Amino acid sequence: MSKYDIIVLGSGPGGYVTAIRASQLGFKTAIIEKESLGGVCLNWGCIPTKALLKSAEVFEYLKHAENYGLSVKEADKDFTAVVKRSRDVAGGMSKGVQFLLKKNKIDVIEGFGKLKPGKKVDVDGKEYSADHIIIATGARSRELPSLKQDGKKVIGYREAMVLKEQPKKMIVVGSGAIGVEFAYFYNSMGTDVTIVEFLPNVVPVEDEEVSKQLEKSFKKSGIKIMTSSEVTKVDTSGKGVVATVKTAKGEETIEADILLSAVGIKSNIENIGLEDVGIAVGRDKILVNNYYQTNIPGYYAIGDVVEGQALAHVASAEGILCVEKIAGQNVEPLDYGNIPGCTYATPEIASVGMTEKQAKEKGYDIKVGKFPFSASGKASASGATEGFVKVIFDAKYGEWLGCHMIGAGVTDMIAEAVLGRKLETTGHEVLKTVHPHPTMSEAVMEAVAAAYGEVIHL
Query: pLDDT tens digit string along 309-351?
Result: 999 999 999 999 999 999 999 999 999 999 999 999 999 999 9
**pLDDT for residue 74:** 86
Question: For 57-77, what is each residue's pLDDT tens digit?
Answer: 999 999 999 999 999 988 899
pLDDT grade, residue 371 (50/70/90)?
A: very high
The yes-or-no verdict on residue 427 having pLDDT over 80 is yes
Q: What are phi and psi of 233, to 5 degrees?
A: -155, 145
* Helices and strands, number each (H, E), in the chain: 14, 24
**pLDDT for residue 150:** 92
Interatomic CA distance for residues 150 and 341, integer angstroms? 30
2-140+266-336: CATH class: alpha beta
**pLDDT for residue 160:** 94
357, burial (CB in 10 Å: exposed 0-12, middle 13-18, buried 19+): exposed
Global pTM reads 0.94
Q: What is the mean pLDDT of the chain?
A: 95
Burial 197-236 (b: 16+ CB within 10 A, else e): bbeebbbebbbebbbebbbebbeeeebbbbbebebeebeb
pLDDT grade, residue 41 (50/70/90)?
A: confident
The yes-or-no verdict on residue 28 having pLDDT over 80 is yes
Interatomic CA distance for residues 351 and 338, integer angstroms? 10
**pLDDT for residue 43:** 87
**pLDDT for residue 1:** 67
Catalytic residues: 437
289, burial (CB in 10 Å: exposed 0-12, middle 13-18, buried 19+): exposed
Q: Answer whether 2-140+266-336 and 347-451 agree in fold.
A: no
List the beta bridge partners of residue 300: 134, 293
Q: What is the CATH number of domain 347-451?
A: 3.30.390.30
Interatomic CA distance for residues 198 and 175, integer angstroms? 9
154-263: CATH topology is FAD/NAD(P)-binding domain (3.50.50)
Q: Where are the domains of the chain?
A: 2-140+266-336, 154-263, 347-451
